[in-house]
Amino acid sequence: MSENIVHLVLARVVGAPEGVKGISLFIVPKFMVNADGSLGARNDAHCVSIEHKMGIKASPTAVLQFGDNGGAIGYLVGQENRGLEYMFIMMNAARFGVGVQGIAIAERAYQKAVGYARDRVQSRPVDGSVAGSAAIIHHPDVRRMLMTMRSLTEGCRAMSLVAAAAYDAAHHHPDADTRKQNQAFYEFMVPLVKGYSTEMSLEVTDLGVQVHGGMGFIEETGAAQYYRDAKILTIYEGTTAIQANDLVGRKTLRDGALMPKAVAAQIEATEQLLAQRTSAAAAVMLKRLSAARLAFVESAEFIAGSGKGNPNAAFAGSVPYLMLAGNLVAGWQMARSLMVAEDKLAAGEEAAFMSAKIATARFYAEHILTRAGGLRDAIVEGADSVTALPLEAF
């Protein structure tokens, strides 16, 4: 017996009465279903080809043809004209979910790279800590790559969990004002979780291949697949530019950067807690977090100020602004994590785990948060050169 397949189709109703001209959602089955539940006649819905994709090959993408041989039968879902609205219920959840996909593939790439770096023996370490050839994890640049992978992944994971907690509070907190605040915060976070975590996954899976050297380029090793698979994440459910448009348009321009400034104020409060500490790690984090926050606020103000008068300037820096916001907000979580870890370490809890948290947070501060200044310069001082070249000169 064939199994049935059901397609969810967004379509305009051809020849529909006035007022039903919008896009509606339909269920279109492969086989019609008889009254007794058994499969009936073949519907006029056909897969005419499977795309050859660079990655995610376990998830086939098909070209479907509906109604070319007499007409396909579809069943309306919900009400007419509300298809796009229904689609966005899926899309809004999917954006957060794709961000988490980025974090997941980055974590897997990191684990695989660590495993290889422990096994693969090549050359003497520059510090002479091993007499002969050593596993490549002893080489400083391999450590730098692994720490970059680790800290980016950890920062994005923390950011996504903070967003998820806000989503829960937005739906289930007993206080209406708290629900509203959390909803606004969650909506600000979604383009960061989607956009920053997926762009981050490209950097991490690239480093994953790089740690493997020539073996990374061989498909059997597995590192190359992460690199190929990850590239869809910055594209589907809204490209990085679409996330950045959302961040600039709805979440910065609409209310004069109110939400970005509210988030910056929360980060400043974290800085005040860092300032009360005496550790070197807290001092380094304070310095870098504070600089990144100021870079972000200047960028948000520039975008809000350009807004209506010069929309090209506001949107020219949209993706760098998203990358700066994601970099900062993930770094903020690393700062919070650092303080919790310091306290638990002082209380004698899980010393190795807490020390690793502190070392990873410090690396994020020194190697990732330090990218903020360059992004700010490009956004605030480089907007005009983005659109200066005439179209015909490309």
Contacts of its own copies in 341-360 (CB under 8 A): 352, 355-356, 359-360
Decide: 233 and 105 in contact? Cβ < 8 Å.
Answer: yes
Per the document, the length of the chain is 394
Decide: 76 and 108 in contact? Cβ < 8 Å.
Answer: no
Q: Does 241 bind its own copies (CB under 8 A)?
A: yes
Q: Does 57 bind its own copies (CB under 8 A)?
A: no
Q: Considering only residues 134 through 173, tell me which ones interact with its own copies, judged by CB under 8 A.
A: 137-144, 146-147, 150
List the one residue from 16, 33, 126, 265 that touches its own copies (CB under 8 A). Answer: 126
Paired tokens of 127: 């510090």
Decide: 234 and 194 in contact? Cβ < 8 Å.
Answer: no
Q: Listing from the earlier edge strand, what are the strands of the sheet with 75-77?
A: 6-12, 23-29, 75-77
CB of 353 to its own copies, least distance (A): 8
The candidate with the shortest Cα–Cα distance to 155, out of 194, 113, 202, 103, is: 103
Binding region for its own copies (CB under 8 A) out of 6-14, 39-47, 340-348, 381-389: 381-389
Q: Does 54 bind its own copies (CB under 8 A)?
A: yes
Q: Does 331 bind its own copies (CB under 8 A)?
A: no
List the one residue from 101, 234, 252, 270 that touches its own copies (CB under 8 A). Answer: 234
Instruction: Name 282's Cβ contacts closer than 8 Å, sequence gap at least 6.
Output: 274, 338, 339, 342
Q: Considering only residues 171 through 210, tell me which ones interact with its own copies, judged by CB under 8 A.
A: 202, 206, 209-210
Q: Distance between CA 226 and CA 223 in Å, rounded? A: 6
Q: Distance between CA 216 and CA 211 in Å, rounded? A: 8
List the one residue from 2, 214, 269, 347 that touches its own copies (CB under 8 A). Answer: 214
Q: Does 108 bind its own copies (CB under 8 A)?
A: no
Cβ distance to its own copies smaller for residue 182 or 225: 225
Instruction: Name 207's Cβ contacts closer than 8 Å, sequence gap at least 6.
Output: 109, 113, 145, 148, 149
- Burial of residue 128 (CB within 10 Å: 0-12, 13-18, 19+) is exposed
Q: Residue 201 phi/psi, 5° resolution?
A: -65, -25
Binding region for its own copies (CB under 8 A) out of 97-105, 176-184, 239-247, 336-344: 239-247
Paired tokens of 300: 């948000």
Binding region for its own copies (CB under 8 A) out of 86-94, 124-132, 330-338, 341-349: 124-132
Size of the site for its own copies (CB under 8 A): 85
List the one residue from 76, 130, 311, 346 that touches its own copies (CB under 8 A). Answer: 311
Cβ distance to its own copies smaller for residue 54 or 91: 54
Can 51 be counted among the known catalytic residues?
no
> Which of the residues 154, 199, 237, 342 is marked catalytic?
237
Residues labelled catalytic: 237
